[in-house]
Structure 1
């Protein structure tokens, strides 16, 4: 995927000036853009309609970006979310990932960088694995629906944690380095190490916490692998 042309995005942003700039930018790219100026309306649109990605401001009236993202994920909506924040704060960023965001940009941001991040998110969401279901030990992965199960129990994964699991499953039982994971997920727009660490933490909570034996193994100073046998 090398263009946003004909994609459908939802912008949830209360700053009308920023919204106007984004409307002009995306209109020139032939993107369909829906808009909400508060969190409640944004959540309603996100749940009722289908979007390729959501651009979500953090500080919103009625319902903030954290609450919107958490509500989306809790109701099973896995649309990619790129969070915009004026707060260049590590804790806010990690909190956003914990609530299910896939990426973030700090204001003010470069429009071309925003476009590149959205392209990467949407490509990741649409999936790069071969069609069909893959069985890896106790794990079953369906790349068409972007869903996964362990011992028949469905895992609650956002697009990024699903992609991490898919990359590990394709390589299992071999180790996947942190650099390999970062390249597979973000390409030439890598975030800080904290971002990968946060996503792996979220994946481990889903994949291992409810079960007696862990599958996701950290290989110190190298990366991660899936343990296929207890």
Structure 2
């Protein structure tokens, strides 16, 4: 499963991520509510785990905003709040399940397994497109106007991330986490460097530039 974990307790987060990855899951990590909401709205998750008390937006607020977008991805809220009124508020926000801290990891796994069965696997789009640029996710072949573009592995990962979210602005932090991992020792400048390399291969020689910089925010690819 592809899971989004939003939890501001770094020690607990590392433990949960380690345990989930041992169970063959892939995990994206958000340390606060605003980052979690940005990740969630990009889609592609089988399950979202939200801590109730986080900096910025709370887990309940994130859950509400996800549901306002008609996104029905299963959501599990983690919290130290165990009063009935708190549980009702959590469910009213759109959460599918509620787990009180401290908890046994085996129970978390069981809840995740049960929630994972609720969401049918979507049919993945095999060929991504943006204007006259095409990326085949099965063969990894990239073409523009019928001309093949040879990319490195990182360039391909970056381009596919942009194309899967075409029209949306991805921050450098989101790109770093999605491509290199949240604990990778790379900087925001690494993203800028790869964007420059990608532009030389994708946009050079074309009057219409597909990869755009949004000053102060990040990058996007035109539809």
**1:59 CA drift (Å):** 0.3
The answer for the alignment partner of 1:26 in structure 2 is: 20
**1:97 CA drift (Å):** 0.5
The answer for the alignment partner of 1:120 in structure 2 is: 114
The answer for the alignment partner of 1:47 in structure 2 is: 41
**1:125 CA drift (Å):** 2.2
Q: Which has the larger radius of gyration?
A: 2
Structure 2: distance between partners of 1:66 and 1:31:
24
- SS of structure 1 residue aligned to 2:118: helix
1:158-205 deviation line (CA, Å, top 9, x unaligned): xxxxxxxxxxxxxxxxxxxxxxxxxxxxxxxxxxxxxxxxxxxxxxxx
Structure 1: distance between partners of 2:43 and 2:119:
17
TM-score of the aligned structures, taking structure 2 as reference length:
0.53
The answer for the alignment partner of 1:65 in structure 2 is: 59
**1:93 CA drift (Å):** 0.8
Aligned positions, number: 121
Structure 2: distance between partners of 1:124 and 1:23:
22
1:66-110 deviation line (CA, Å, top 9, x unaligned): 110000001111110000001111111100100100001000111
Structure 2: distance between partners of 1:83 and 1:17:
18
Q: Which consecutive segments of 4 or more residues in structure 1 shift more than 4 A?
A: none
The answer for the alignment partner of 1:139 in structure 2 is: none
The answer for the alignment partner of 1:17 in structure 2 is: 11
- Please state if 1:108 is matched with 2:102: yes
- SS of structure 2 residue aligned to 1:71: helix
**Gaps in structure 2 of 5+ consecutive residues:** 122-223
**1:49 CA drift (Å):** 2.9
**Gaps in structure 1 of 5+ consecutive residues:** 1-6, 128-230
Structure 2: distance between partners of 1:117 and 1:100:
16
- SS of structure 2 residue aligned to 1:88: coil
**1:122 CA drift (Å):** 1.2
The answer for the alignment partner of 2:50 in structure 1 is: 56
**1:118 CA drift (Å):** 0.8
1:43-65 deviation line (CA, Å, top 9, x unaligned): 00001131000111000100001
- SS of structure 1 residue aligned to 2:87: helix
- SS of structure 1 residue aligned to 2:95: coil
* CA RMSD, 1 decimal: 1.1
The answer for the alignment partner of 1:86 in structure 2 is: 80
TM-score of the aligned structures, taking structure 1 as reference length:
0.51
Structure 2: distance between partners of 1:99 and 1:88:
16
